[in-house]
Amino acid sequence: MKTPETDLPRLVVLVSGGGSNLQAIIDATASGSLIARVAMVISNNIDAYALERASNAGIPTQVVDHNDYRSRAAFELALREEIEPHDPALIILAGFMRILSADFVARYAGRILNIHPSLLPAYTGLNTHQRAIDGGEAEHGATVHLVTAELDAGPIVRQARVPIMADDTASELATRVLEQEHRIYPEAIQDMLQTQKAASLGRSA
């Protein structure tokens, strides 16, 4: 039997850009491979195409622009005010280009996921595709991980590998990695939700 919409675990997705990972997550909820509902999409960038993707899918959106706040603490307080009414099972960072403070992360410990375009722990930070090519690597990939206070360093939930071809440009490699991101992110989210459900059943048994 299909779970009624209102009983589905809720996801709040934070974005800054194109939102192709957001789209993969929306598509997975629509196809039923991800049993969850995207309750809200929040962007720190008003021009993010991800906002349009959310609207097209009938998902409420909110812009919380870090430039409008005097401090990171004030920005994060505004983010929390948008997130908390949804009481999300998970907060999903999908191309969200702001670093979250230890205080923010602690509030949602074990409930924030990020996807990073490298085989972590290798190549944390930015420009990972070019750096992997320059580093003479044979392989590159993507990692879904839990967010902790340290950047790109939380426990790994899922990884996907792709080969680096001899004449690859960073953009060709990024395209190949993104395809894998779109596959593993919804899978990783579904896994995490299953784990949460098993833990809560265990508690109530």
Residue positions annotated with a catalytic role: 116
Q: How many residues does the chain have?
A: 205
- Residue 116, classed as helix, strand or coil, is strand
Residue 186 engages ligand GRF in binding (rule: CB under 6 A): no
Determine the residue with CB nearest ligand GRF: 95
- Residue 101, classed as helix, strand or coil, is coil
Q: Report residue 117 as tokens.
A: 């375009």
| Window of 18-26, 32-40, 82-90, 189-197 that interacts with ligand GRF by CB under 6 A | 18-26
Residue 17 engages ligand GRF in binding (rule: CB under 6 A): yes
- Residue 84, classed as helix, strand or coil, is helix
The sheet carrying 139-146 orders its strands as: 61-63, 37-43, 10-15, 90-93, 112-116, 139-146, 156-163
Among 76, 152, 168, 181, indicate the residue that binds ligand GRF (CB under 6 A): 181
Among 11, 21, 26, 83, indicate the residue that binds ligand GRF (CB under 6 A): 21
Site for ligand GRF in 57-86 (CB under 6 A): none
Min dist. Cβ of residue 72 to ligand GRF (A): 19
- Measured CA to CA in angstroms, residue 170 lies from 19, 39, 107, 131, 161 at distances of 19, 34, 36, 9, 15
Identify which of residues 39 and 41 has a Cβ nearer to ligand GRF in the complex. Answer: 41
Site for ligand GRF in 115-154 (CB under 6 A): 115-117, 142
CA distance 49 to 55: 10
For residue 118, which amino acid is it? S
| Window of 11-19, 99-107, 152-160, 164-172 that interacts with ligand GRF by CB under 6 A | 11-19
Interface residues with ligand GRF (CB under 6 A) are 17-22, 50, 94-95, 115-117, 142, 178, 181
